[in-house]
Structure 1
Amino acid sequence: MCGIKKKILLAAIFFAVGTSYCFKSAMTGPDWQLWTNKCLMQSYDSSADPKLKKFEFSVTTDAFIRLRKTYAKGKEEYYSFNLHQLNDLDYVGNTAVGTLQLRTIADDIIVQTRNDRKGDVDSMTTVLNIPVKNMEPERLDSLKEALNYFKSKGL
């Protein structure tokens, strides 16, 4: 019975930590990854693009951030870069709605477009603009901390 109580207590603590966006220094890589993916998926403002059918966000354990957008007519946009290349993170907007800007020093962000009427395009850029909603200052600070955790991991 004691083991069950301990698990419930640990689950409650993990939930409280994740909900309040406060971190303890003992968070592991999987903890950071879980929280970062959850934060990005919950914060992404898909209403900013009415033609968007589906989106997938992920941060991998090897410090890659990936965003795939699929539109109603089949067009896909794919963005990817290694967080070791992250130079700066800016936020433009208010707590209700805004844009998270991930910047690299050089053209390190891969941009691929598929099934577009204008043709498939592969290019590189230095800024990934992410429309977000409900970005409280504490959540933004925690997201910066999480991305910096992945950035600082050794290659």
Structure 2
Amino acid sequence: MKKFTLNLKICLSVVICLLFMGYSKIKLLDEQTSYIQQLLVSHYNEEPEIVQVKHYELNVTNSGFCRYKRFFKSGKVEYFSFNLVKFKDLDYKATDTTGALFLYTKGDDVIVQTYNDKNEDDVDSMANYMSIPVKNIKGEELTELSDQIRKANVRLLAQK
């Protein structure tokens, strides 16, 4: 009976440890994706587009997708999306205060869609980067953003 009780305690301990480990991975991934989204949204630069764009949506989901959608005053909608697992590198091209953040993927992994465009047909294609207008972003924040995306990649690959 003592052996049975000891084995039962060991099994319960292992199960509890596995549950905590599984939960911690999900929690860490959520923290990383929310950090990525918070950084992108807080440095988003609306000024160059204010005349044409009514509003935008910039989301990073806990399933690993980065989605950027712009709604123009003319009714046109542009949509860009890619999975963070496909992230390759980032680049920042600009002056000290404003510029564009380019998120590059390993291949043509960025979904590009436009619709409701009165001047052209709807577009549904693929690209190898996503460009986001940003302002007042520092070099340390760019490095941290890249690191957080890479860490999220590892966690996303471990979940599959």
TM-score range, shorter chain: 0.7 to 0.9
Aligned to 1:131: 133
C-alpha contact (below 8 Å) 1:94/1:135 kept by paired residues? no
Aligned to 2:72: 71
Structure 1 length-normalised TM = 0.77
Moved over 4 A (4+): none
Q: Which one-letter code corresponds to 1:136 in the other structure?
A: K
Q: Which runs of no fewer than 5 residues in structure 1 stay unpaired?
A: 1-26
Distance 1:95 1:105 in 2: 28
Pairwise CA RMSD: 1.5
- Size of the alignment, in residue pairs? 129
Which protein is richer in helix relative to its size? 2
Distance 1:106 1:41 in 2: 25
- Higher Cα radius of gyration: 2
Q: Can you list the C-alpha shifts for 1:87-118, whole angstroms capped at 9, x where unaligned?
A: 11111123311111111122110001010011
C-alpha contact (below 8 Å) 2:77/2:114 kept by paired residues? yes
Q: Larger deviation: 63-72 or 35-44?
A: 35-44
3-state DSSP of counterpart to 1:28: helix
Distance 2:91 2:61 in 1: 21
Q: Can you list the C-alpha shifts for 1:42-100, whole angstroms capped at 9, x where unaligned?
A: 11112122301111111111111100110111110010111111111111123311111
Q: How does 1:1-155 map to 2 (within 5 A)?
A: 28-49=28-49, 50-117=51-118, 118-153=120-155, 154=157, 155=160
C-alpha contact (below 8 Å) 1:95/1:137 kept by paired residues? no
Identity of aligned residues (%): 35
Q: Which runs of no fewer than 5 residues in structure 2 stay unpaired?
A: 1-26
Structure 2 length-normalised TM = 0.75
